Structure 1
Amino acid sequence: MKKTVFLGALTVAGVAAGASAAATLDDVKARGKLNCGVTTGLVGFAAPDANGVWEGFDVAVCRAVAAAVLGDPTAVEFVPTTGKTRFTALASGEIDMLARNTTWTFSRDTDLKFEFVGVNYYDGQGFMVPKALGVSSAKELDGATVCIQTGTTTELNLADFFRKNNINYEPVPIETNAEGQQQYLAGACDTYTTDASGLAATRAAFENPTEHVILPEIISKEPLGPLVRHGDNEWGDIVRWTLNALISAEELGVTSANVEEMASSPTNSPEINRLLGTEGNLGEMIGLEADWAKRAIAVGGNYGEVFERNIGENTPIGLARGLNAQWTDGGILYSPPFR
């Protein structure tokens, strides 16, 4: 029979978990590289450019973490994952974190034993159809064939929506967004359903994007964000507060253009000083150098800069901030204070 040896308020199991948590940071530093799980390719969020360099909204989180921990935003190995393989890759240790359009849900948090460190995009599931189909509402899709990625919350939401509205559909299972795009354009399905942001990114890559319509219904809540393994508390804190640093930087007016100047001498804002490491010891608390957040922000700017450059209204994807605006601007984007 296995015995538990109590050490004050801690158990041997607890000590082992703590050692495991510290090990991820140690492993990343020893390796000199962050292994970051991303999607197999979704323009604007995570996709390699013509030179094979990964870029995008989710990629920016990986690079910010690499800069915070290693001082080098290019020290990242991007590992493409599908809806089916992403969780295995994280649980097995193949990747250190997952920064891929992944929805924070109860079962993924508790049953699959992952730790979502925050939300970097508040989304919802939608439907895209060819304009020629003549459909103006998802409720008119009775009997439609639907391209749907397997191993996703999208599958469950789709079944719930059609059941609730007493209409039928025929699923066309796909593994990746690229496959979904191909099948949809080939006419294998009447509609493609996924997160609305993903639909916008997919449509932007079409030869004739104006021939396709994203229907008005948003049928779910999809809070998307980075995640780590359960028990990886120390590492989770680093990823969480790196994301928060990008969000807080926008609220506080810290940008890629002024971060070096603000960090070179203390400002009249105590919170900016704490964020940039010119005051206090926040970096020490998470096992990093004092300027960890400054390095993360300097990579691609604050959250707003990352958003506008990759998926904002002036990009082909054309997403408005909406819920992802700062709480001070009518959105729900909000970082806990740096103190």
Structure 2
Amino acid sequence: MIKGFRRLAASAAVLLAAAMVLAAPAPAAASTLAAVKQRGTLNCGVSQGLAGFSDRDAQGRWSGFDVDFCRALAAAVLGDPAKVTYLPLSASERFEALRAGRIDVLSRNSTWTLEREAGLGLLFAGITFHDGQGFMVLRRPAITSALELDGVPVCVQEGTTSAMNVADYFRANSMRLTLHTLPTATDSLQALQDGRCDVLTTDQSGLFAERLKLSQPDAAVILPDVISKEPLGPVTRADDLGWFNVVKWVNFALINAEELGITIATADEAMRSTKPDVRRFVGAEGDLGTKLGLGNDFAIRAVRAVGNYAEIYERNVGASSRLGIPRGMNQLWSMGGILYAPPLR
């Protein structure tokens, strides 16, 4: 009887211990912010070379719209925009590199979609560039509209939303699609130049960049048609909401800086401002930065490093750059565009 009781008590103890293990909360995902601070550098995934967005010169120096976001993030987190390690990624490998932890953030002309968030376990930290898919035509000067591309060979890069979009567009308009899918953007452009296709399709921003690489850029025409919505922005893993918030609010800070009139040149003046919204932005009031695990001056550090959104845009892809892309939808909401960010307060 006593032995049976002891066996029963022992079994109950085992069951109780197991229940406690099952009831215990799962360990939190390792903090990316802590890892970046400990490492002392930000691992940022970028494209393999897209003029105006992320490109490397002969000395190995990176520059561009997406690169500047990496630099702004490094300045906000580490206090130094130079503390970035860039990893060039193809379209097909970019998301797996992020999921595997090879990079901390992806800043590489990537379209925000439901499948990529829900299906891949990722989070897009806002929109940095409102884009749309278009067409660049070579060797067919008579074509002025995408509706005239029936049967014309089209090149597209694999692993992108562009292939699905162009198939939808041709099917919806009862057109014959002759599609050549290539591994990389470089391969797609080379196929266009070699005559394997007469049309290249990708985001319009990418078309402006790729046209510069042609032996005769003026011979290529970017059609006015836009066949999709392509909201581009930085991406994080979905298992670290703290880091996601850091990336998201650095993005919002750059947009808010333009709205507040805070630039690289006026950063010192902003530090002396008596306006409440400016004082919150520069960290002179409140403790917004500490809520993110950063210094309260994180936003002004980002602006000092790369400028506000307008400065980043114009320097890399705007009217005065080699690409010459009009602001269009990427104007502030108060200036006729749809660029909008929640306030820092």
1:292 corresponds to: 298
2:25 corresponds to: 12
- Which residue identity is paired with 2:189? Q
- Which residue identity is paired with 1:280? G
Q: Distance in 2 between matches of 1:102 and 1:161?
A: 20
**Secondary structure class of the residue paired with 2:29:** helix
- Contact 1:161 1:219 (C-alpha < 8 Å) held by counterparts: yes
If the length of structure 1 is used for normalisation, what is the TM-score? 0.93
1:202 corresponds to: 210
1:159 corresponds to: 167
**Deviations 1:227-250 (CA, angstroms, capped at 9, x unpaired):** 100121000111101011100000
Q: Taking structure 1 as reference, are residues 4 and 211 closer, same or farther at Cα in structure 2, changes over 3 Å only?
A: farther
Correspondence 1:1-339 to 2 at 5 A: 12-13=25-26, 16=27, 19-20=28-29, 23-130=31-138, 132-263=140-271, 265=272, 267-339=273-345
Q: Distance in 2 between matches of 1:137 and 1:201?
A: 20
Structure 1 residue 208 displacement after superposition: 2.3
Gaps of 5+ in 1: none
**Secondary structure class of the residue paired with 2:329:** helix
- Contact 1:132 1:211 (C-alpha < 8 Å) held by counterparts: no
Q: Distance in 1 between matches of 2:139 and 2:314?
A: 28
Structure 1 residue 5 displacement after superposition: 6.2
Q: Distance in 2 between matches of 1:248 and 1:29?
A: 25
**Secondary structure class of the residue paired with 2:247:** helix
**Secondary structure class of the residue paired with 1:77:** strand
Q: Distance in 1 between matches of 2:269 and 2:336?
A: 29
**Where in structure 1 do 4 or more consecutive aligned residues deviate above 4 Å?**
1-7
Q: Distance in 2 between matches of 1:245 and 1:6?
A: 41
**Secondary structure class of the residue paired with 1:279:** coil
Q: Distance in 1 between matches of 2:300 and 2:344?
A: 13
Name whichever of 175-184 and 285-294 sits farther off: 175-184
Q: Taking structure 1 as reference, are residues 4 and 320 closer, same or farther at Cα in structure 2, changes over 3 Å only?
A: farther
Gaps of 5+ in 2: 1-14
Q: Distance in 1 between matches of 2:42 and 2:316?
A: 22
- Contact 1:149 1:175 (C-alpha < 8 Å) held by counterparts: yes
Rg (Cα) greater in structure: 2
